[in-house]
Structure 1
Amino acid sequence: MSTPTAGRAPFWVRLLFAVTLCMPIIEVVVIVLVWQVIGWWTLVALAACFCLGLVVIKRASVGAAREMRSAMAERRPPAREVADAPQALVGGVLLLIPGFVTSLLGIILILPGMRSVSRRLMQAVVGRRMAAGGVHVVDYTATRTDSFRNDPEVIEAEIIETDEDRKKP
């Protein structure tokens, strides 16, 4: 078994690059095959996928922002919202790209069942990295008195003075 060299990309990066280079050819072949079956309706289907992509992107961004605001108002971490929004946005972008293969991938990504699968996958990857020491979680939450709770102008901070700071004139 060979070890990867410093200048060589991992296998999954090389595979993604190869698929990205081949995707336009694959899309043209699929569009031609669909054209032979349904004719001019192919253009209508491509336009419908594009419009669906616009709707998905708008709803995902507005919905994620609303859900994150409500999570912050309830003083709970917006873990689900943070995990779901990028997937819906990527699905919407894939729907915008003209072609049936990318549209199919986009539709798969925006399905609610797939969101839970990818959320579990993301949690496993992040959990593995945290266990390996690759991610450091810092808790910046602070308790505040009720009088300042809804005041956006108030920023709580703690000033830490070191010996070097005291020596400076």
Structure 2
Amino acid sequence: MKKILFGLLALVFAEIAVFIVIGNAIGVFYTLLLIIFTSIAGLLIAKKRGTKSIQDIQKSMQQGQPPAVPVIETFMIFVGGVLLAVPGFITDILGILFVSGITRNLFKPVIFYYLRKKMKRGQVVILQK
């Protein structure tokens, strides 16, 4: 819990520093416009990709396949959309990485490794009907 709190606090300070640097470089008005534009564009992209990934989950379930990969992708797109909605340049970059298909494929093995590790410890349980 302390790590998360420290990480969030560090992120806030880093975002403020980036705001100051970019505000000095291009001006306050254009900095605010850029933040608003990236938030709106990011949310629209996340909505479009999120809808497709939900359809992929439904399709794999109809075919009788486990929807593990589409669920992970949907989760990553959701997290990316939230990061894009939060004002800030660092969170926008992270959000774009999560929403983009190329970089999402790089993160998937890390997430699967983390989930397998949690499952072995008994911290994550999957229920079947």
TM range (shorter): 0.7 to 0.9
Q: How many angstroms apart in 2 are the aligned matches of 1:31 and 1:138? A: 45
Q: Distance in 2 between matches of 1:102 and 1:76?
A: 34
Does the 8 Å contact 1:56/1:89 carry over to 2?
Answer: no
Structure 1 position 60, deviation (Å): 3.5
Map 1:1-169 onto structure 2 (within 5 A): 13-39=1-27, 40-135=29-124, 137=126, 139-140=128-129
Higher helix fraction: Structure 1 or Structure 2? 2
Residue 130 of structure 1 deviates from its aligned partner by 3.5
Query: Cα deviations across residues 58-90 of structure 1 (Å, max 9, x unaligned)?
Result: 124311221111112212111111011111111
Distance (whole Å) between structure 2 residues aligned to residue 95 and residue 136 of structure 1: 30
TM-score (norm 1): 0.66
SS of 2:64 mapped into structure 1: coil
C-alpha distance in 1, partners of 2:7/2:121? Answer: 30
Give, in whole Å, the separation in 1 of the partners of 2:82 and 2:114. Answer: 24
Name the % identity: 25
Shift of 1:103: 0.9
Contact 1:34/1:42 (CA < 8 Å) preserved in 2?
A: yes
Number of aligned residue pairs: give it.
128
How far apart are the structure 2 equivalents of 1:106 and 1:41? 21
* Partner SS state of residue 82, structure 1: helix
Q: Which has the larger radius of gyration?
A: 1
Larger RCO (CA under 8 A, 6+ residues apart)? 2
The alpha carbon displacement at 1:134 in A equals: 4.6
Q: Is the 8 A contact 1:60 1:89 kept in 2?
A: no
Amino acid at match of 2:47: K
Moved more, 129-138 or 106-115: 129-138
Q: Is the 8 A contact 1:57 1:88 kept in 2?
A: yes
- TM-score normalised according to structure 2 size: 0.83
Gaps of 5+ in 1: 1-12, 141-169
2:46–2:99 Cα contact (<8 Å) kept: no
Answer yes or no: is the 8 Å Cα contact 1:53–1:96 preserved in 2.
yes
Q: Which runs of 5+ in 2 are unaligned?
A: none
